[in-house]
Structure 1
Amino acid sequence: MENPPKIAGVGTSVPKTSYTQQEMIDEFGITDPRIRSVFLNGAIERRGLSLPPLLPDGTRAEETQGDLLRKHTRNGLAMAREAIEACLKDAGATLADVRYLCCVTTTGLLTPGFSALLIKELGIDVHCSRLDVVGMGCNAGLNALTAVSGWANAHPGELALMVCIEACSAAYVFDGTMRSSVVNSLFGDGSAALAVISQDGEGRPAPAGDRGPVEEPAAPPGPALLKFSSCIIPDAVGAMRYDWDDSHGKFSFYLDPEVPYVVGAHAEKALDKLLTGTGLRRSDISHWVIHSGGKKVIDSVRANLGLSRHDVRHTTGVLRDHGNMSSGSFLFSYERLRDEGVATPGEYGVFMTMGPGSTIEMALVSW
């Protein structure tokens, strides 16, 4: 694209309550040494979570699917509001500037979806175009950003907003099994918003009717979104899934132990597809923004792409501080990279997310 859309701002939010891995073990009285090891050896120190309410005897209540759905809605809206407000401030914009809203979630099903609820709650223009991306999992942030980028490119000067809303506390089953314990040791709650805008042929925000152009971002301009690519691995379609558990009467997430190796084995193929036709080589990529899928996933991607620990410093830092926040995790890493201020004009970066399908999504960006 001659004038590709650019990231104009980013904002993130996590719950007010958070727990260390040891505190989680204590909260649920976990004594099985295998499960304790899963919690304590996953390179996670703390996660933002909303635990089930306490009962008089000090144990945690068992939440119904209805309870979890209400948690998904309540906590999701609260986090999304904070992330959106932070993002718009970063972009030098206001709610009145938002012309496209894309909401991403996997931790609950709502009709109407978060986009409609947020337009009502925040007072966004009722003529705002919207899209809800639901159920695609941890990779969905880049699936949605593909749509957001396309809309922004077709509407120069108009602000498009993507917000990932993942209340992973609303997707937990506590039954003491290894299957559920792996999930319970990994995921945390979080929301992340990204503002995207295209410019006119002279590199300026185009006029937007009598509203005028969106102001320049408060922070230095973000990278341009150059190209997206997808790689689905049909043979691993059941390796990551969120399905109904009859024994508990609620939805339950499942992660196959082979997921890290499946993702890693296909990472190079996915990157080659992204770079095809660009004239770029892997060595031309200066910055890597990778989904914090888990320690083994990150290590597998590193090994297969030949990346250093420094390349994934923000990915591992987000995992350490927040756990896996599903679709929005990579935006937390991008925010840290942006705040670091090391990216310079002319440099290239790759965004990478992984999730159910099994799927690897990538985006090529440039500063």
Structure 2
Amino acid sequence: MTPLFETARAQIIGVGTATPPTAYSQQQVLDAFRIDDRRIRLMFMSGSVERRHLTLPPAGADGKPVNETQGELLQKHRSQALAIGERALLDCLEQAGAQPQDIRYLCCVTTTGMLTPGLSALLCQRMGLRRDCGRLDIVGMGCNAGLNGLNAVTSWSQAHPGKLAVMLCVEICSAAYVHDDSMQTAVVNSLFGDGAAAVALLADRARSAGSPTVLGFNSCVISEAVDAMRFDWDDHHGKFSFFLAQEVPYVVGANAEAVIDQLLADAGLRRSDIAHWVVHSGGKKVIDSVRVNLGLSADDVRHTSSVLRDYGNVSSGSFLFSYQRLLQEGRIQPGDYAVMMTMGPGSTIETALLQW
């Protein structure tokens, strides 16, 4: 008898994205917060981000957005995550030719807010999902977490052939901002945006034409850089503050080759066999570091760069925004291989291999 996992590998049959309705150019953000510091303004304008979707608070008496408390930020995360999360899920299901009642397993990924019950349970209530829908909430893993979630959903899908599994990444990064005059917070505030992305998987012996099969995953935990990306409690502001170390791009770049080469070696492939690269839009320096260390061209990371330009870094869901643009482009050929790559706190690099 042929082993099940050889005849019913999981395929990605749908992807969907959503953002809040309000978007701002970098100049508009600088103007809204009355930021005059030359160094900060230069950082905002030189990071390859042109526009981001953000949920900013209303203006106060001084004309600047009011300073939100941690409680208000958590409430913003809940309301916005449910709103755009539902839209991303519906967009994904439409492409997959499915309905909310078809979802048998839902994995929700987020880092920008803590909820109990989690997003998966709240979305089950909001969207009227099945009472027996399996659920998983991944909280706090950061920008790499989308591929951690995809790994779990792929495993569930292959263990339950014919049943629809969906992963949703939803990040309200504007619910994790601290506003002051420091360069530390300016780095974060100049980069991240709000967004949600969902992906649907199905394992079936009858393969879906045009849908890639998930062949495998590989991870790299860089323990010596565990503090390079983290949330800290800021006593002065009374809220959490995200810290992003300057050496992050170089840490990622220095470790990219080993994790990618092992992923490909497990499948008997080389880098030259990969037709498409779907890399997390972590920032201009991160993208450049990955390009240099993997020997990629600007064209290889065209969607990664364009997503950074149009949305900023939307954390765990960024790679799915790039994947959606790859599909819409129409350049994929049967038999093509693709590598997905995300990176984040830990410090960690996550990878996946697909084939059409």
User: Residue in 1 aligned with 2:97?
Assistant: 92
Q: Using the alignment, how far apart are the partners of 1:316 and 1:19 within structure 2?
A: 18
Q: Using the alignment, how far apart are the partners of 1:57 and 1:246 within structure 2?
A: 24
User: Residue in 2 aligned with 1:212?
Assistant: none
User: Residue in 2 aligned with 1:225?
Assistant: 214
Q: Indicate whether 1:196 and 2:185 are aligned.
A: no
User: Residue in 1 aligned with 2:280?
Assistant: 291
User: Residue in 1 aligned with 2:248?
Assistant: 259
Sequence identity percentage: 62
User: Residue in 2 aligned with 1:9?
Assistant: 14
User: Residue in 2 aligned with 1:65?
Assistant: 70
Is the 1:284–1:348 contact (alpha carbons within 8 Å) kept by the matching residues of 2?
A: yes
Q: Using the alignment, how far apart are the partners of 2:349 and 2:109 within structure 1?
A: 17
Task: Tell me the amino acid that sits aligned with residue 39 of structure 1.
Answer: F
Task: Tell me the amino acid that sits aligned with residue 98 of structure 2.
Answer: A
Is the 2:34–2:64 contact (alpha carbons within 8 Å) kept by the matching residues of 1?
A: no
Tell me the TM-score normalized by structure 2: 0.97
User: Residue in 2 aligned with 1:237?
Assistant: 226
Give the length in aligned residue pairs. 351
Is the 2:274–2:338 contact (alpha carbons within 8 Å) kept by the matching residues of 1?
A: yes
Q: Using the alignment, how far apart are the partners of 1:342 and 1:241 within structure 2?
A: 38
Determine which of 325, 345, 355 is the counterpart of 2:344: 355
Task: Tell me the amino acid that sits aligned with residue 194 of structure 1.
Answer: V
Task: Tell me the amino acid that sits aligned with residue 198 of structure 1.
Answer: A
Q: Indicate whether 1:152 and 2:146 are aligned.
A: no
Q: Using the alignment, how far apart are the partners of 2:312 and 2:246 within structure 1?
A: 18
Q: Using the alignment, how far apart are the partners of 1:118 and 1:259 within structure 2?
A: 34
Instruction: Give per-residue Cα distances to partners, 1:259-317, cap 9 Å, x unaligned.
Output: 00000000001101211231100100110000000000000000000000000000000
User: Residue in 1 aligned with 2:33?
Assistant: 28
Determine which of 127, 132, 138 is the counterpart of 1:127: 132
User: Residue in 2 aligned with 1:213?
Assistant: none
> What secondary structure is seen at the aligned counterpart in 2 of 1:112?
coil
1:110-189 alignment runs, 5 A limit? 110-189=115-194
User: Residue in 2 aligned with 1:208?
Assistant: none
> What secondary structure is seen at the aligned counterpart in 1 of 2:266?
coil
How far off is 1:64 after superposition?
0.3
Q: Using the alignment, how far apart are the partners of 2:291 and 2:21 within structure 1?
A: 32
Q: Using the alignment, how far apart are the partners of 1:12 and 1:243 within structure 2?
A: 29
Is the 2:210–2:334 contact (alpha carbons within 8 Å) kept by the matching residues of 1?
A: no
Task: Tell me the amino acid that sits aligned with residue 161 of structure 1.
Answer: V
How far off is 1:245 after superposition?
1.1
Query: What's the C-alpha RMSD, in Å, of the aligned pairs?
Result: 0.9
Is the 1:104–1:164 contact (alpha carbons within 8 Å) kept by the matching residues of 2?
A: yes
> What secondary structure is seen at the aligned counterpart in 1 of 2:64?
coil
Is the 1:18–1:49 contact (alpha carbons within 8 Å) kept by the matching residues of 2?
A: yes
Q: Using the alignment, how far apart are the partners of 2:38 and 2:75 within structure 1?
A: 33
Q: Indicate whether 1:48 and 2:37 are aligned.
A: no
> What secondary structure is seen at the aligned counterpart in 1 of 2:262?
helix
Deviates more, 1:106-115 or 1:220-229: 220-229
Instruction: Give per-residue Cα distances to partners, 1:2-29, cap 9 Å, x unaligned.
Output: 2310001000001100100011111111
Structure 1: unaligned runs, 5 residues or longer: 205-215
Runs of 4+ in 1 over 4 A off after TM superposition: none
Task: Tell me the amino acid that sits aligned with residue 318 of structure 1.
Answer: V
Tell me the TM-score normalized by structure 1: 0.94
Q: Using the alignment, how far apart are the partners of 1:57 and 1:347 within structure 2?
A: 55
> What secondary structure is seen at the aligned counterpart in 2 of 1:287?
strand
Structure 2: unaligned runs, 5 residues or longer: none
How far off is 1:134 after superposition?
0.3
How far off is 1:243 after superposition?
2.0
Q: Using the alignment, how far apart are the partners of 1:167 and 1:45 within structure 2?
A: 18
Deviates more, 1:48-57 or 1:285-294: 48-57
How far off is 1:55 after superposition?
1.3
How far off is 1:176 after superposition?
1.1
User: Residue in 2 aligned with 1:280?
Assistant: 269
Instruction: Give per-residue Cα distances to partners, 1:52-85, cap 9 Å, x unaligned.
Output: 2211331211100000000000000001011000
Task: Tell me the amino acid that sits aligned with residue 184 of structure 1.
Answer: N
Deviates more, 1:238-247 or 1:122-131: 238-247
How far off is 1:244 after superposition?
1.1
Task: Tell me the amino acid that sits aligned with residue 73 of structure 2.
Answer: L
How far off is 1:157 after superposition?
0.6
